Amino acid sequence: MIEARDLTKYYGRRLAIDHLTFHARKGEIVAFLGPNGAGKTTTMRILTGYMPPSEGEAKVAGFDVVEESLEVRRRVGYLPETVPLYDDMTVWDYLEFMGSLRQVPNLDDRIAEILDRVGLIDRADSFIGTLSKGMRQRVGLAQAILHQPEVLILDEPTLGLDPKQRVEVRELIREIGRERTVMLSTHILPEAQALSDRVLIINKGRIIAEDTPEELQLRLLGAQRVRLRVRGAQGAQGLVAHLQRLPGLLRLHVHDAEHLEIEAKPEEAEALRSRLARAVLDAGYDLLEMCVVSMSLEDIFLQLIQDESAEAEAPADVDLTAKEA
């Protein structure tokens, strides 16, 4: 269990995270998804008790990360962004060292089991300095789960792994997540979607969206966006209401005098495009342009940030049905 309220961190005068409130329950995998500098690592360092927040509070496995940081560290497995490894130790010796610090019972068996899980059993006697980047990452993961912690905090767990390894590590995380609480960070949208039960999108230190991967998919990716330019669209309430009733349409935004943007169910997107074109023309309007808007992760952030700032001023979604009623 992770509970954070109003977590805020300043580095000097730089605000790194800004009143983050979130939670992760037992058996849940929560992903922090955000671009570089969003505040993912900062948040995770606070959650693991390595750094106090400037404001706010967090409890991990029932313990306060500031007041009871030792208890927290005992119960948390942490894969830091850069794993501090000892190059002149063998993989086995390193895990033995970490395991004895944490008083792991049946340590030898446990190490063998973990090495097998992370695909490094044949490198047990290799010096860490001789491992590839992905292998080092897996050693980091191995030490994070060695003591079977209640809570796992994984900062970009699949960074530097090859595709096959990525799949295997995800599998492993999913398995662990069934019985524990996992919070991971990533800047890869498909990864957040593949792995997590809930995604928190973080940008510039703020959570700007929170959703299940399915919803996120629908809202942001799976939903195809189509932009229309229709002469005189704004104020044409009848037309817009008519378009809104077209089958396959999920959302409709009126951007400005001429631009409409719609989201379509992916499987109906193509049919919807022809329905849209026909509906506009049938209603006697000029369709000046129609294009499919493809969305990259950057677009998604931009969209969310825009939605967010627009919400502060005016509703982003024009609810025309309400206006007409």
Q: How far is CA 2 from CA 21, 45, 212, 242, in A?
A: 11, 13, 17, 46
Say how far apart CA 203 and CA 209 lie, in whole Å. 9
With CB under 5 to 8 Å by kind, the binding choice for 14 among ligand ATP, Mg ion, none is: ligand ATP
- 125 touches 96 (CB < 8 A): no
Applying CB under 6 A, among 2, 4, 31, 39 the residue interacting with ligand ATP is 39
Q: Check: CB of residue 39 under 8 Å from CB of residue 202.
A: yes
Q: Indicate whether 143 belongs to the interface with Mg ion (CB under 5 A).
A: no
Separation between Cα atoms, residue 202 and residue 205, nearest integer Å:
6
Interface with ligand ATP, residue 177, by CB under 6 A: no
Stretch of residues binding ligand ATP (CB under 6 A), selected from 10-18, 173-181, 219-227, 284-292:
10-18
Rounded CA-CA distance 251/263 in Å is 5
Any idea what the Cα angle at residue 85 is, between residues 155 and 30, rounded to 5°?
15
Asked if 195 contacts 174 with a C-beta cutoff of 8 angstroms, the reply is yes
Q: By CB under 6 A, is residue 239 in contact with ligand ATP?
A: no
Q: What would the 3-class secondary structure string for 230-282 be?
A: ECCCCCCHHHHHHHHCCCCEEEEEECCCCEEEEEECHHHHHHHHHHHHHHHHH
Phi, psi (rounded to 5 degrees) for 139: -65, -40
Judged by beta carbon distances under 5 to 8 A according to partner kind, the member of Mg ion, ligand ATP, none in contact with residue 39 is: ligand ATP
Binding of residue 158 to Mg ion (CB under 5 A): no
Whichever of 186 and 224 has its CB closer to ligand ATP, that residue is 186
Q: Is 110 in the site for ligand ATP (CB under 6 A)?
A: no
One residue of 4, 7, 31, 41 binding Mg ion per CB under 5 A: 41
Segment 40 to 79, residues that bind ligand ATP, using CB under 6 A: 40-42
How near is the Cβ of 36 to Mg ion at its closest, in Å? 7
Closest to Mg ion by CB, 81 vs 317, is 81
Give CA–CA dist 53/4, Å, rounded.
11
Give the nearer residue to Mg ion in terms of CB position, either 95 or 207.
207
Taking the complex as a whole, the smallest distance from the CB of residue 262 to ligand ATP amounts, in Å, to 32
- Return the range that interacts with Mg ion (CB under 5 A); candidates 80-88, 91-99, 102-110, 136-144: 80-88
Task: Give contact residues for ligand ATP (rule: CB under 6 A).
Answer: 11, 14, 16, 34, 36-42, 81, 187
